[in-house]
């Protein structure tokens, strides 16, 4: 598998973490222009009635096209309390919620100024819980992959809420237990929080099973 270029992401989906699991290294783009309605400030969990998006409000500032690295989190609207309440409601009956709750709760109890810093701290926590030690390299200025010294798999426009994950030929989501599956069926490619709360240490096995290896 080639190195992979990804955007910053809030509690990114399973597809995103299969790249972290498998790629020799990850280049995280922060010098791109901020795009709305992406995983940069949105995650999707499994609510009682189906997929439930959670969006971090941001401050728009005066710049017409701000860079992702400059996006500040808005502290209006009590979003932290609402997001944590949604996570509790969705997963309090999952097998591993009590095991991981105190790892995630602090992120919703303190303010963080920049979106990329908040996302990075959550990503580091998720990797710690998965016992992953990925090589993450940060790009503070926009990267033109055609000028890179080595080939890189550019997934900045691929792993997005409105792009079908089926277009990613290296990802086929393996099914796993979900709290509301009897009501909603299996919901693929949700937030990594969904996989962790439902499968705990076996989450690594699900990630591995979701990777399509290239043909020899």
Give me the residue spans of the domains in the chain. 4-209
- Report d(CA 40, CA 42) in Å as an integer: 6
Considering all CA atoms of the chain, what is the largest pairwise distance in Å, rounded to the nearest integer?
52
Query: Considering the chain, what percentage of its residues have pLDDT values greater than 90?
Result: 84
Any idea which of 44-48, 68-72, 186-190, 211-215 has the lowest mean pLDDT? 211-215
The pLDDT confidence band at residue 77, using thresholds 50, 70 and 90, is confident
Cβ neighbour number for residue 72 with a 10 Å cutoff: 14
The pLDDT confidence band at residue 104, using thresholds 50, 70 and 90, is very high
Distance, CA of 135 to chain centre: 16
| pLDDT attached to residue 61 | 67
What global pTM score does this model have? 0.95
- Report d(CA 103, CA 45) in Å as an integer: 17
Any idea which of 34-38, 102-106, 202-206 has the lowest mean pLDDT? 34-38
Strand 72-73 and strand 58-59: the pairing is antiparallel
Q: Which of 23, 43, 54, 20 is nearest to 203 (CA)?
A: 20
Judge whether residue 180 has pLDDT over 70.
Answer: yes
87-113: average pLDDT? 96
Strand partners, 6: 28
| pLDDT attached to residue 22 | 94
């Amino acid at each position: 598998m080639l190195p992979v270029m990804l955007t910053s992401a809030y509690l990114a989906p399973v597809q995103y973490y299969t790249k972290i699991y498998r790629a020799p290294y990850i280049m995280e783009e922060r010098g791109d222009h901020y795009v709305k309605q992406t995983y940069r400030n949105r995650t999707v969990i499994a609510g009682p009635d189906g997929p439930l998006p959670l969006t971090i409000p941001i401050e728009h500032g005066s710049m017409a096209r701000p860079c992702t690295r400059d996006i500040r989190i808005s502290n209006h609207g009590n979003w932290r309390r609402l997001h944590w309440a949604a996570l509790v409601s969705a997963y309090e009956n999952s097998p591993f919620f009590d095991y991981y709750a105190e790892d995630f709760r602090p992120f919703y109890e303190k303010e963080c100024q920049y979106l990329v810093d908040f996302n990075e701290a959550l990503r580091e926590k998720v990797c710690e819980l998965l016992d992953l030690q990925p090589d993450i390299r940060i790009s503070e200025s926009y990267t033109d992959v055609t000028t890179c010294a080595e080939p890189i798999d550019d997934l900045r426009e691929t792993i997005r809420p409105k792009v079908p994950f089926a277009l990613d030929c290296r990802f086929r989501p393996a099914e796993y237990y979900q709290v509301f599956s009897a009501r909603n069926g299996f919901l693929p490619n949700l937030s990594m929080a969904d996989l962790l709360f439902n499968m705990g240490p076996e989450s690594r096995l699900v990630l591995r099973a979701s990777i399509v290896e290239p043909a020899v």
